[in-house]
């Protein structure tokens, strides 16, 4: 089944926040913009490794990259992080999707139960 846009959205944010390095990068960026080089330094990481994390953060919409081709400074986008920490929005996405699955699952369970009941009754009858 293809995930809905809301599911993708939620997953991107969860995925971005789940990694401790990316959380540290966000913490660093909350103090001000920084280039890849400036970010790589305190984390003792190679530039490509940091760039990979930045790409995830950018795709989740948590940071924006500057246009300056040389430096491409990273800036935190607090709107998106608000969305990530917005319990109501997150709950809605999470639970709407969950309850839809629960509907199907309860149906399955009850169908199974009914079949079992019918079988038991039939067995009794033939006895």
Phi, psi of 48 (to 5 degrees): -60, -35
- Give SS3 for 76: strand
Is residue 6 a contact partner of residue 97, using CB atoms and an 8 Å limit? Answer: yes
Of residues 70 and 87, the one with the C-beta less far from other proteins:
87
Angle between helices 47-59 and 36-43 (to 10 degrees): 110
Nearer to other proteins, 23 or 119 (CB): 23
Task: Kindly list the residues in this chain that would bind other proteins in the complex (CB under 8 A).
Answer: 1, 3-4, 6-8, 10-11, 14-15, 17-20, 23-24, 26-27, 30-31, 56, 76, 78-79, 81-107, 109-110
Q: How far is the CB of 12 from other proteins (least distance, A)?
A: 9
CB of residue 13 to other proteins, shortest distance in Å = 9
Q: CB-wise, 103 or 117, nearer to other proteins? A: 103
Asked whether the beta carbons of 9 and 93 are under 8 A apart, the reply is: yes
């Amino acid at each position: 089944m293809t995930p809905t846009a809301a599911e993708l959205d939620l997953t991107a944010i969860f995925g971005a926040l789940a990694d401790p390095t990316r959380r540290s990068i966000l913490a660093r960026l909350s103090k001000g913009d920084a280039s890849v080089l400036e970010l790589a330094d305190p984390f003792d990481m190679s530039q490509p490794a940091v760039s990979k994390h930045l790409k995830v953060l950018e795709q989740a919409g948590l940071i924006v990259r500057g246009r300056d081709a040389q430096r491409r400074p990273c800036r935190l986008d607090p709107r998106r992080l608000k969305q990530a920490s917005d319990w109501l929005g997150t709950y809605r996405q999470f639970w709407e999707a969950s309850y839809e699955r629960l509907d199907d699952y309860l149906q399955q369970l009850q169908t199974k139960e009914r079949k079992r009941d019918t079988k038991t009754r039939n067995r009794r009858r033939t006895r």
